[in-house]
Structure 1
């Protein structure tokens, strides 16, 4: 009987070693050599200190900064651990709102978001990505239209010329990957850091 079982055990152990140990280590090593920035989490540093990742959004609420997409992620409620509370861009709990197109809560939230944004720029249509969450709730990017929509508010808060900020936004637009994948986008953290370097 051992003769019949031994080939199966040897095959199982070999397969586990290849797929569970050798392959992951080889891929991790190759990634570290070929794509070190991406393999380390696409971390963004300022003055030698990590301040974020190009892959995970951050919450900016001040008028002098560009704001990202809303985030539907949650975290444990500090008052009651059996409940959750809003925790924007919580990478340990990546999720969307799961509210469907017939949801009254979603409709009310969208209407409220549009109304609020119209107060800061009534001359332009509100870009959809400024009022809707992404599937992960962690999206670090917004559309160029969403960034340009915020220019009047940010320019006013910083005392900068709108044309100067529009030029900065245009220079920060990342094009489609490989020329056809995805949509043009602007990384909010990188845009805000570039703006801080401008002064004001």
Structure 2
């Protein structure tokens, strides 16, 4: 489980096809001695398991493997060497919850439809996949490429968020443009509320 507060801006060193899907090596500022093989790290908003790691004089790195379902549902399939990626280590008991509870289970891809740069913020507008749109509410929370953000407004499949300069500086968002496909995870509370409503109607 995560909070959607990005704590490192990693760099993809390699991304190779393997029989099970894709293996990716990511350069990180994290001290890899402080987490074990099998640890969970949010990589671009997708929960992944660490399969290899090393601290070295030329930089620290860890490896993850992405299964076919992950490649089908997320933008992991498009990752390339040299690309920057939002990273967050898993939440520990007693840690400050600065964003909202994020599982790292992506619901689909949201497309950037508009970017407006202002002196003190940037507005992004997205088109959500139809199956995820009902769970996105004005002033609610979403995780976009692993970043916890507050929804500014909603109109059908479209929704928008404002990003402050600090978020642009410490995440991949400064490079995002119209047409980019973004990993979207809706608020899990909205997901459970929707399931309860569905069950009540069917019952």
- Between Structure 1 and Structure 2, which shows a larger proportion of helix residues? 1
- Between Structure 1 and Structure 2, which shows a larger proportion of strand residues? 2
Higher relative contact order (CA 8 A, sep 6+): 2
TM-score band, normalised by shorter chain: under 0.3
- TM-score in terms of structure 1 length: 0.26
